[in-house]
Structure 1
Amino acid sequence: MRLRTRAAGATRALCLLAVLTTVGLLPWLSGRDPALAVLRARSAEQEPTEEALDSVRQDLGLDAGPLSLLGNWASDLLRGDLGTSWVSGTDVLPSVTAGLQVSLGLMGAAFAVAVLLACALVAPVLVRGRGSAGAWAAMAAALPEFLLATLALLVCGVWLGWLPTSGWQGPEYMVLPALALGVPAGGLLGRLVADALPAVLDERWVELWRGAGVGRRTISAAALKRVLPPLVPQFGMVAVGLTGGAVAVETVFAVPGIGRTALGAAKSQDLPLLQGSVLSLLLLGLVAGAAAALVRRRLLGPALRDAGLSLPPVRPVRTHPVIPLTLLTVLTVTIGWGLLRDPYTVDTTARLAAPSWSHPLGTDGLGRDVLARLGHGAAPTVGTAAAVCLLSLLVALALGFLPGVAAGAADIANALPPVIVGILVAAAAGPGTGGAALAVALISWPPLAAHAAALVQEVRASSFLTAQRAIGASPSWILTRHVLPSVAAPVARHALLRLPGIALALASLGFLGLGAQPPAPEWGLLLDESRAYVERAPWAALAPAVALAMLAGLAVSGAAYAQGRRNTGRGTKKRVTKRGTKRVTKHVTKEKEALVEV
């Protein structure tokens, strides 16, 4: 145990050092000559002669090697100097500080919305002792912030005119961005707590307390204290998600926060400003994770900190199959219909045409058929996600046998939202589908690796493996015939459940201009392209938005239905013996505990 802790600490330090090194070497890793961009930003009329470019490189210290560049950046960072902007020529630190203040205010308001929504979802369970967060809460948790922000902008800002849609000039400007960030986070928190509470309220101590005349309020407080410690790490990840989601939300509502600052710096190749912005976002994620660990220790108390307290098995969620089947049918028919049309035909005479029989979902700003682009965009959106999902599965299975290494690397990966990694990859390699896939793959493996590590530990401790070793079975035989088959199938199901979430993460990068590039019909890119004329042609934005929302709903409802069938044991009673049934039930219970965050 001590050796595993040391390995996790060493891996955590190495991964953090690797991230900081990547940030420090961005001017060298970009592969492009930033001197030209700086020269154009300083003087658009000056000719980019070799002498002028050499002067800029010498002024910025770009003529030195990568090690010298990294050393100078690190020494300046230790002195609190983030450098000078290549575009504006001003100090980076004031810009980062101003953006960070705005983002912290927005995240605070969003977290308040999340807590209020979570309390509303948990209250019925505490009062009645049963219930769940519901399918609608699960769908809200699965909606990406950029999609909800676009819908809020369209409905509340454009159609109804209730609230301002851009800027940061007063409290009313905070409402829509805070709702867009807080509703998915609150749905996730409320669903996690509400799904775990019924099993806690059925524990023996609750019955004893009720028999002793203890009040409902005291029992509810004790049940929450029992539920919260294992879920606090998930709360920290939600806070990290607010950090990444703020980039898209600030972009949609033109909020001058640190996320929008980082995105603008990446697109303009203002690498010193990008470095400072990314460091501040990384610091926010690390502080959120550390605060979650501290809160968990305080909730457990000194007696239980090393006890490995975990949640009781979550009750199976019963979902009628008509919900996922309906969503799947609608998506399949829509995509199939769109595949029969040409997504690249430009008809300027039909620009922003309303839905009609010739164009069932209307046309975009270039007169291209929205239905065709929606149908042809399904393959790059979901196909790339499938490739990323497979890569994450392979990495997780490999790291499942190295729990110490996986735990340390996962701490750093969990502190980096996909958008932040996407910004770094885009700054180094340029925006594109491959860069977006790499960014999502770099941080999508930790939940799968944690699941694999838990299953490997369980299988290795089983009695039948002890018997195999006693009869002389080789380690390779045990690994290939027993351990891997027992671990791979549950983790593969887990990876499949995360496929829609990976597709949504890729769509968010496309929406921010960090993924697929025009004229590719990728769903996130379609949503980004339609923002410029959302008031005149809202159907162009609603089509990809509804498709992404239905994909999220299909993921949640399909996962709930599949887990409900597995946990109730349907289809297995006739095929297994009584002893085998007990083994399946125990295995599913362990798997459900590892999947509590899904």
Structure 2
Amino acid sequence: MSVTSAGVDARRTGWWTGLGRLLAASALLTAVALLPWLSGTDPARTVLRARSADQDPTPAQLSAVRAQLGLDEGPFRHLVRWLAGLPRGDAGTSWVSGEPVLPQVSSAFAVSVTLMLGALVVTVAVAALVSARTLYLGSRHRLRRASSGTGAAVLAALPKFLLASLLATVGGVWLGWFPSSGWEGPSSMVLPSLALGVPSGAVIGGLLDQALPAAFQESWARTWRAYGFPAGAIGRNALRRVLAGVLPQLLPTVIALVGGAVAVEKIFNIPGLGRLALDSAIAQDLPPLQTATLTLVLLGVGAGLLLQALRRAALGPALRDGALPALPRPALAPRRSTRWIAALSATALLALVVAGLLRDPLYVDTTARLLAPSAAHPLGTDSLGRDMLARLGHGALRTATVALAVTAVVTVTGLLLGMTARVGAGLTEVVATLPAVLAGLLTTAVTGPSAWGAACAVSLVGWTPYAAQTAALLAEERASGHLLASLSFGAGPWHLLRHHYLPAVLPGVVRNALLRLPTTVLVLASLGFLGLGEQPPTPEWGRLLSENQPYAELAPWTLLGPACALVLLSVLAVTATPSGPWRPRRKGN
């Protein structure tokens, strides 16, 4: 490809990306503006209730609120008026408090960004620890067995709100090392940063751990070893090599640390942007909700541009000039222990589910509240005296069905949109800014609180990591020599899709999806924790975590069962999946 044609193609791609950002941002802000009308409730009644807690306002009071807020004009005129004030630095006034919106959002944004930076430090540190062994052995040509990914799976399966409760209880209340509530200074960000950063770092570290063996198999690494290059230099360049596929995964992670940390912010009583957006949405206070949403969109676009620049700078001209080849298939034998880990995880999980199915999950015994594990109740009882093993077993099918369905939908959606890189890139950046909680509020306004309403909310935003990964892997494959050779021999689109694009993309995306499967369960659990997901008395795993979270200190066994089940599910998903690129079988091979 010539320099001129490459520049034209880059400008064309940038134009389409900008169009995707604009369309997605406009659709998002319009949906937020329609939230009070989508909910089917009178916005004036909700606002008046938020102001004075008056459960039965008079018609005169409602009419006065409608006239004051201009609700009779409809959502679109309000949206246009709000947009017109932004160039003047006027984001309107809160419908509930009557105070200017911009100072509220600015203060919450400063808190969230500070917390995000602390969580990012933890994320990078955990990712480095997870991938350190593979990086060390691979750079010294001692890597003979593929990593099982068990450690990353266990850490990624930790519920953030549950980890936050544990850290607040142990580190804040029992030991008194750090504040367990409020935002008083740098010490207040330690515990919430750990709660947010440890699971996120495990996901990123797991992706690095999967990609590094392939980088060490490339010809440049073998040549460098033959010429006696230091192991550290080989390791650094291998790490730079795999950043092409991993760096795009940081975008949804960054946004999740800002706008998606609502449950953690509520537990630690942090006045962040996610909590402000949630409280405004519940009160149907549109000016701060729209301003917070726009702030998240701008943050997402800025973070996307920054990550693109870091990706290009880290990989140098190879990526910028489109000459970066796809990673080869790693010729590494899986660890023998991997099969045993998968078998033990499957056996333990099956035993828990079968034993629970033999018991009644809805039987209430008020005389047996919060009993510790015993022969009669192997996992103890909850606050109503219900058997935790029974609820765990009966909730397995519903939990697995919803999580697998959501994972399948978001993976396919991410693959399709990732292959349309021009429009998909801008769309991915903007949709990644939408917290699952806000999506849950939008869908709940239409469907009401339910498991499938929460599933729709996660499906709306959960495809972004897979779209970013697909686009990155396709960029590598399109620059490979064997694809150019196929094109020179007249290969058509279907041949390229079957023999080049899908084999290059599917393995990494499927592994990523399986690594994120417990995360999907936990996001659904977070929506239930906030009252937007599964409703009682349904024994769904996420619901078990959320409804027993207040008893973490008094009766920790109520959380132990569902937490261990999530860990077993995560370990099984990772260890039972073969690593390495898939290639279709050809005749004569």
TM-score scaled by structure 1? Answer: 0.81
- Name the aligned partner's letter for residue 450 of structure 2: G
Which of 372, 383, 394 aligns to 1:354? It is 372
- Name the aligned partner's letter for residue 327 of structure 2: P
Which of 560, 579, 585 aligns to 1:563? It is 579
Which of 389, 395, 412 aligns to 2:430? It is 412
Contact map agreement 2:252 2:465 (CA 8 A) in 1: no
- Inter-partner Cα distance in structure 2 for 1:529 and 1:211: 59
Query: Aligned-pair distance for 1:18?
Result: 0.9
Which of 428, 431, 449 aligns to 2:449? It is 431
Hey, what does 2:546 align to over in structure 1? 528
Partner SS state of residue 365, structure 1: coil
Which of 265, 278, 295 aligns to 2:293? It is 278
Hey, what does 1:382 align to over in structure 2? 400
| 1:549 corresponds to 2:567 | yes
- Inter-partner Cα distance in structure 2 for 1:493 and 1:186: 19
**After alignment, is 89-98 or 285-294 more displaced?**
89-98
Alignment length, in residue pairs? Answer: 565
TM-score scaled by structure 2? Answer: 0.82
Q: Equivalent residues in 2 for 1:12-411 (5 A)?
A: 12-44=21-53, 47-128=56-137, 129=139, 130=142, 134-153=149-168, 155-157=170-172, 163-206=178-221, 208-209=223-224, 214-301=229-316, 304-309=319-324, 312-313=327-328, 315=330, 316=332, 318=335, 320-392=338-410, 395=413, 399=417, 402-411=420-429
Change beyond 3 A, Cα 1:506–1:126: closer
- Name the aligned partner's letter for residue 28 of structure 1: W
- Inter-partner Cα distance in structure 2 for 1:288 and 1:89: 32
Query: Aligned-pair distance for 1:62?
Result: 0.8
- Name the aligned partner's letter for residue 560 of structure 2: L
**After alignment, is 401-410 or 68-77 more displaced?**
401-410
- Name the aligned partner's letter for residue 391 of structure 1: V
Hey, what does 1:588 align to over in structure 2? none
Change beyond 3 A, Cα 1:55–1:390: same
Partner SS state of residue 320, structure 1: helix
- Inter-partner Cα distance in structure 2 for 1:210 and 1:86: 66
Contact map agreement 2:33 2:76 (CA 8 A) in 1: no
Hey, what does 2:3 align to over in structure 1? none
Query: Aligned-pair distance for 1:292?
Result: 0.4
- Inter-partner Cα distance in structure 1 for 2:43 and 2:35: 10
- Inter-partner Cα distance in structure 2 for 1:485 and 1:222: 26
Query: Aligned-pair distance for 1:56?
Result: 0.6
Partner SS state of residue 377, structure 1: helix
Contact map agreement 2:252 2:464 (CA 8 A) in 1: no
- Name the aligned partner's letter for residue 189 of structure 1: I
**After alignment, is 106-115 or 312-321 more displaced?**
312-321
Query: Aligned-pair distance for 1:461?
Result: 8.4
CA offset digits 1:502-561 (Å, max 9, x no partner): 3333223222322112222222222222222322222112222222222222222223xx
**After alignment, is 159-168 or 373-382 more displaced?**
159-168
Q: Equivalent residues in 2 for 1:482-561 (5 A)?
A: 499-559=517-577
Contact map agreement 1:285 1:415 (CA 8 A) in 2: yes
**After alignment, is 104-113 or 128-137 more displaced?**
128-137
Contact map agreement 1:269 1:427 (CA 8 A) in 2: no
Contact map agreement 1:237 1:289 (CA 8 A) in 2: no
Contact map agreement 1:385 1:499 (CA 8 A) in 2: yes
Query: Aligned-pair distance for 1:92?
Result: 2.5
**After alignment, is 344-353 or 121-130 more displaced?**
121-130
Hey, what does 1:472 align to over in structure 2? none
**After alignment, is 501-510 or 53-62 more displaced?**
501-510
- Name the aligned partner's letter for residue 345 of structure 1: Y
Q: Equivalent residues in 2 for 1:452-491 (5 A)?
A: none
Query: Aligned-pair distance for 1:447?
Result: 5.2
Q: Which runs of 5+ in 2 are unaligned?
A: 1-8
Change beyond 3 A, Cα 1:9–1:274: closer
Hey, what does 2:5 align to over in structure 1? none
- Inter-partner Cα distance in structure 1 for 2:461 and 2:322: 29
Contact map agreement 2:552 2:558 (CA 8 A) in 1: yes
Change beyond 3 A, Cα 1:151–1:324: farther
Query: Aligned-pair distance for 1:122?
Result: 4.7
Query: Aligned-pair distance for 1:58?
Result: 1.1
- Inter-partner Cα distance in structure 1 for 2:32 and 2:219: 52
Q: Which runs of 5+ in 1 are unaligned?
A: 470-474, 581-598
- Inter-partner Cα distance in structure 1 for 2:461 and 2:405: 14
Change beyond 3 A, Cα 1:423–1:257: same
- Inter-partner Cα distance in structure 1 for 2:208 and 2:501: 32
CA offset digits 1:462-511 (Å, max 9, x no partner): 96998898xxxxx9x99999999999997996666765443333223222
- Inter-partner Cα distance in structure 1 for 2:531 and 2:33: 23
- Inter-partner Cα distance in structure 2 for 1:443 and 1:532: 28
